[in-house]
Amino acid sequence: GSFRSGKHAGRVALLPQDSRFPPHARGEELLRFYGRVQGLTSDDCERTIDELLDWVHLQDRRRSPVRTLSHGMNRRLAIAPAFLGTPELVLLDEPLNGLDPREAARVRDLIRERRGRQAIVISSHNLSDIEALCDHVAFIEKGKLVRQDTLDKITGRAHRITYRLSGGQVPLEKLSAALPEVAWEQQPETLTATFPGRYTTEELNRLALPVLLEAGVGILEIQRGS
């Protein structure tokens, strides 16, 4: 059936990729308008506006015209309406598009804070952003769903750990004795463990790290996946 805004008010929210606000508008005015669209009462709207402006770190610029805000500030302001009233489904289209690394990191942190509270769907061509933010992933090609699974299964993170090393002789025989079902692959600066599903990442680290540390192997980083 057709989408009726009244029926779905407050349940679904959207951040378009190239959203633009009127340059003369002010942040609190915009949020007040979108709050009414989402069906919030006046009191709920004002309370939520304060919470969201704090959340996106723009409380001190709430009355500043959009034209005076930086690109990163504008992008953070654009995210806020999508979370007015805690909608059940939030659709974010390329939320990190065009941001410098510092602002991108801030926006990633904002989105992570909302995980588990709502269903958040992110559309992005940047796979590293998807890996940093999502639990499930779907690949769409020419309008058709070609693959869908958990991110762990698609990336192999669920059953693989890579240790980045800084020196020392890797005791492969001792590792194999401690973890006989694990396949170990050593490169000059890394050691990768591929393990069956009955192990968790935490269990593998608990058994493998003491063997490596006792042998004097320096460990710079532990990363899930290859």
Kindly report whether the global pTM for this prediction surpasses the value 0.85. Answer: no
Mention every residue, 6+ apart, whose C-beta is less than 8 A from residue 87: 10, 11, 12, 13, 38, 118
Instruction: Tell me the CA end-to-end span of the chain in Å, nearest whole number.
Output: 45
Query: What is the per-residue pLDDT for 3?
Result: 47
45-103: pLDDT as tens digits: 899 999 999 989 999 999 999 999 998 899 899 989 988 888 889 999 998 887 888 88
164-194: pLDDT as tens digits: 999 889 999 999 999 988 889 999 899 999 8
